[in-house]
Amino acid sequence: MSESGASMIEIRGVRKSFGALEVLKSIDLHVPAGKTIAVIGESGSGKSTLVRCINNLEPIDGGSIRVGPTTILPDRVEEAGKPLSAREVARFRTRIGMVFQNFNLFPHLTVLGNIIEAPVGVLRWPKADAIERADALLRRVGLQDKAAAYPATLSGGQQQRVAIVRALIMEPAIMLFDEPTSALDPKLTDEVLTVIRDLAIRDRTSVIVTHEMGFARNVATDVVVMADGHIAEHGPPDQIFGSPRSSAAQQLLQYAS
Amino acid sequence: MPLARSFDILWEYHRILLDGLAMTFELTLISIVIALITGVTCALGSLARWRVVRWISVVVTEFCRNTPILVLIIWVHYALPEITGIKTSAVVSSIIALVMQSTGYLSEEYRAGIESIDKGQYEASKSLGMTYARLMRRIVLPQAIVRMIPGIINQLVVLFKSTSVVSIIAVPDLMYHANVIVNDTYLAMQTYTVVALTYFLIIFGISVLVRIASRRIRFIGPSHAILQAA
């Protein structure tokens, strides 16, 4: 485990069940500020659930997750020992960007509408500022001519780049990615991974759930292998991919080219 | 009396019939506008986290949906004032009853519309820091309402038809005036035929709109396209 640097995210003994199915079985994980953690593992290993717990999209059943000054507990979210209201929990989420497997753009809003909805509506930025910032980010991801388009007219790769911009415009300290390229073909996967590497994880703490082993190896500072609700192995990419010790990691990498 | 002559007589009453028609439209429009608001309130209530709120919403919805409109109107006009101590005019009683009935139906439409919105829309909204109220208002309801358009128009048709029973408590709508004219002239066949055709033509017109709207939604698909076209 990385001891250098203060932890931005501290996951301690986190448990989570869906009905009788225990998805997370006492997970411990520290994510140092500024690092990029790739979480790999078979489907159903609990990796998606884990990242969704970090911004409290899924409430936890046991343990705690500290994110900066905020602590998520099974029955409440608190800061400095004081429980947060629903509105304050919503505000807490503005500091954490999230990108989903299925993009989840708002189909009734244009690309620009998607991007400025939260900065204007939640953070109360002046609309002109939000538009200016959105245009700059769209240019960075090569979609400057798509501001007025509706999501359904875009390719999957374009939609996911818009979704990344929508999260980044909030200037979050943390970015979470839940299988950001699993719904995309290889060519579109590359264009999205490039944006994640060059723009989205720069100067941020990030956790990326992915099946892209090459990306995990080249971009992550740490790799976590999950299996059956546990962390089977955790270490630098070269160690995990070079000489995996756990059987879960060995099995997983056997199929990865 | 020759048929042409009897329609001449009826023509002398056309202003009264038009007044009645205006009342029918008024009742329909006022009721649907109020019911669109009370309907969404009930739907959100039936989806609420608190069990008490959920139960109240479900009971209200089911009572309104499963009581015949004629019974509702009489109940609101003659029974409700004894419970509340507030006496309402026949028009107000009618609107209350019509709103109750439409609230029941529209609440179900809203609920189905809201539940048809993908879970990912909620997650994306929450991850951007939206509160429940904001994500409902800005993200979920705008998409749900577009999908509800055929259902809303359908309810508008039902409502328009339902207004014809308000004459039972002497609200001067189209049907009420028809009864008055028949009492005056004994021209039952002519009067009721004209009134039936009037109802038919208006409702048929709305039904054609429903069909066009449904087809557009089916062919154009996602809600954004309709908003774009609108």
Give pLDDT, residue B1: 64
Which has more confidence, A256 or A232?
A232
Q: Is the pLDDT of residue A194 over 70?
A: yes
Amino acid type, A170? M
Give pLDDT, residue A63: 96
Q: Tens of pLDDT along chain B (230 residues)?
A: 677 788 888 888 889 989 999 999 999 999 999 999 999 999 888 888 888 988 988 888 888 889 999 999 999 999 999 999 999 999 999 999 999 999 988 998 888 999 999 999 999 999 999 999 999 999 999 998 888 888 888 888 889 999 999 999 989 999 999 999 999 888 888 899 999 999 999 999 888 877 787 776 654 444 444 444 43
- H/E stretch holding A182 reads none
Distance CA A156, CA B63 (A): 46
- H/E stretch holding B79 reads none
The neighbouring-strand residues paired with A234 are A224
Contacts with B224 from chain A: Cβ below 8 Å: 107-109, 150-152
Contacts with A92 from chain B: Cβ below 8 Å: 129
Contacts with B127 from chain A: Cβ below 8 Å: 55, 57, 93, 96-98, 167
Contacts with A121 from chain B: Cβ below 8 Å: 130, 134, 138
Chain A interface disruption, residue of B126, B128, B223, most A CBs within 10 A: B128
pLDDT digits (tens, 9 = 90+) for A35-83: 999 999 988 899 999 999 999 999 999 999 999 999 999 999 999 999 9
Axis-axis angle for helices B188-220, B14-46 (nearest 10) = 40
H helices of B47-117, in order, are 51-65, 69-74, 80-84, 90-115
Question: With an 8 Å Cβ cutoff, are A57 and B225 in contact?
Answer: no
Distance CA A52, CA A234 (A): 19
pLDDT digits (tens, 9 = 90+) for B37-65: 999 999 888 888 888 988 988 888 888 88
Chain B interface disruption, residue of A18, A67, A77, A104, most B CBs within 10 A: A104
Chain-wide mean pLDDT for chain A?
93
CB A122 within 8 A of CB A94: yes
Give pLDDT, residue B218: 52
Q: Searching chain B, which residue's CA lies closest to the CA of residue A151?
A: B224
A24 to chain B, closest Cα gap in Å: 20
pLDDT digits (tens, 9 = 90+) for A199-224: 888 889 999 999 999 999 999 999 99
- H/E stretch holding A244 reads none
Give pLDDT, residue A256: 65
Give pLDDT, residue B206: 83
Check if the interface score ipTM surpasses 0.85: yes
A109 pLDDT tier (thresholds 50, 70, 90)? very high
Which residues 190-229 of B have a C-beta within 8 angstroms of A? 221-225, 227-228
CB B111 within 8 A of CB B54: no
Distance CA A45, CA A29 (A): 15
For CA atoms A8, A12, A16, A22, the dihedral sign is positive
Is some CB atom of chain A closer than 8 A to the CB atom of B122?
no
Distance CA B226, CA B230 (A): 6
Distance CA B214, CA A102 (A): 27
CA dihedral in degrees (B155, B161, B166, B171; nearest 10)? 100
Q: Is the pLDDT of residue A2 over 80?
A: no
Q: Is the pLDDT of residue A3 over 70?
A: no
Question: With an 8 Å Cβ cutoff, are B139 and A106 in contact?
Answer: yes
Domain positions in chain B are 3-229
Give pLDDT, residue A5: 58
Which residues 54-83 of A have a C-beta within 8 angstroms of B? 55, 57
B10 class by beta-carbon count within 10 Å (0-12 exposed, 13-18 middle, 19+ buried):
middle
CB count within 10 Å of CB A203 equals: 6
Give pLDDT, residue A53: 96
Question: With an 8 Å Cβ cutoff, are A108 and B223 in contact?
Answer: yes
CB B65 within 8 A of CB B101: yes
The CATH number assigned to the domain with range B3-229 reads 1.10.3720.10
Distance CA A144, CA A154 (A): 13
Which residues 55-94 of B have a C-beta within 8 angstroms of A? none
CB B143 within 8 A of CB B217: no
